[in-house]
Structure 1
């Protein structure tokens, strides 16, 4: 398996993009699950890394905590809140993008945006809302994000609606 070059500044740009995409969906999570700050803590940890802080175990720990928040919201039937927590999880995970030239890495770049889009469309009960959010996420991606994305193969098939949103965003960014 081939590796790609991926510098710390590029990882910071990817994390910053993921945070920017995930953060708006926090309102859905916090509305439905007040007092649960795990997704916000995951986003804050990713932001600290994006802003120049070290890539520490705390980011991973907060990502795992956001994963548990996602599962609890899902189990409670709070679909939009669940996807918002997954968006936060994806934002924290973006700091750990692997330099492996595999399509499975693309969701680490674009997953926060796709899960946020899904959260908004679940909340609105309208898929066009998710499509619109993908359009916003496309506009948020700076040149470093687009450059790094271009080093990876296209997004993989599958993963339901979130996978579809990832592929739509991937295609639109590659075509920029």
Structure 2
């Protein structure tokens, strides 16, 4: 598939709900990592709750965008405070809201809207275990093994070009998960 500025793909409301539900399921395990560092800060939880409501059938509302921005601020604050585990957990929550706004542009960068919650969750777990990349890889393998990405999510993912290069460790985790979820050409 060409990655250009004009190509578009079909995306239904149910596609967006499935992708958002997947993002929430991927990010939710990292919430305790955030709340351990910031027990009184509900911003990442509120972001997950707003995204979950959309995935469950509610309309996309300002609460989703507000939740994304609030969780993003929480990620920046914890990063600046020297709490990288909490920062990646908050980023996972922020990206759940971005999944609800996946664009129908056939661009590789859109893959992040689908997979960034899982990648930031895996990164948070890596950092919690002494920056061990095997922990992140195992976490992503568990996502694939437990089939959190149902047929709709995989179908939507396949409409886009493969995940783009760059993005540091989180970018690599996105590419690893992208490759694991896309059926191989021989299958």
Question: Which category of TM-score, normalised to the shorter sequence, fits these structures?
Answer: over 0.9
RMSD value, Cα:
0.7
Question: Paired residue for 2:155?
Answer: 147
Partner of 2:118: 113
Which residue of 153, 167, 171 corresponds with 2:175? 167
State the match for 1:51 in structure 2: 56
**Structure 1: gaps (5+ residues):** none
Larger Rg: 2
Identify the structure with the greater helix proportion. Answer: 1
TM normalised by structure 1 equals 0.98
**CA displacement, residues 40-88 of structure 1 (integer Å, 9 cap, x when unaligned):** 0000000000000000111001100000000000000000000000000
Name the counterpart of 2:14.
Answer: 9
CA distance in 1, matches of 2:69, 2:110: 18
Task: State how 1:10-159 maps to structure 2 within 5 Å.
Answer: 10-125=15-130, 126-138=132-144, 139-159=147-167
Distance 1:65 1:101 in 2: 28
TM-score between both structures, scaled by the size of structure 2: 0.93
